[in-house]
Amino acid sequence: MKTSIHLTSEKLSLQDCYSFVQDASCGGIAVFVGTVRNATKNKNVTLLDFSGYEPMALKEMQKIATKALEKFDIHKIAIHHALGKLAIGNVPVIIAVSSAHRNAAFEACQFAIDTLKETVPIWKKEYFDDGEVWVNSHP
């Protein structure tokens, strides 16, 4: 198996993603870890709440992983995303990619996070000191 796709309300594990993609034939592992930041548009963020249409989100995440394997010279890819309420500093998304050489891993990792934000039906609500707002991450 060359892909690990995971959507969960549990805490994501960087070690699980790293362990999945690690291989003796690979000289490079690129990892993207998205974290909840404390501000956006000059407003203090108190937490984020992620929700999604899970069957379609999993299908789209798998499509991204499959496309990355076809497009880049990579060995394995893990795409894990959290659902539910996450505090500042918590991790909503981890993408890990292994390849024989670093450039392919970097490129595939960036492709995966950029495409995920554009196509996967996962939405976030940002909570502020004075209210909340749904964020449309799809252009």
H-state helical runs in the chain: 14-21, 54-71, 102-119
Stated pTM of the model? 0.94
Which of the listed CATH numbers 3.90.1170.40, 2.30.40.10, 3.40.50.261, 3.20.20.20 matches domain 3-127?
A: 3.90.1170.40
pLDDT tens-digit profile of 79-114?
Answer: 999 999 999 999 999 999 999 999 999 999 999 999
The DSSP code for 43 is E
What are the sequence ranges of the domains in the chain? 3-127
- Mean pLDDT, the chain, rounded, equals 95
> d(Cα 93, Cα 81) in Å, to the nearest integer?
4
pLDDT tens-digit profile of 3-14?
Answer: 999 999 999 999
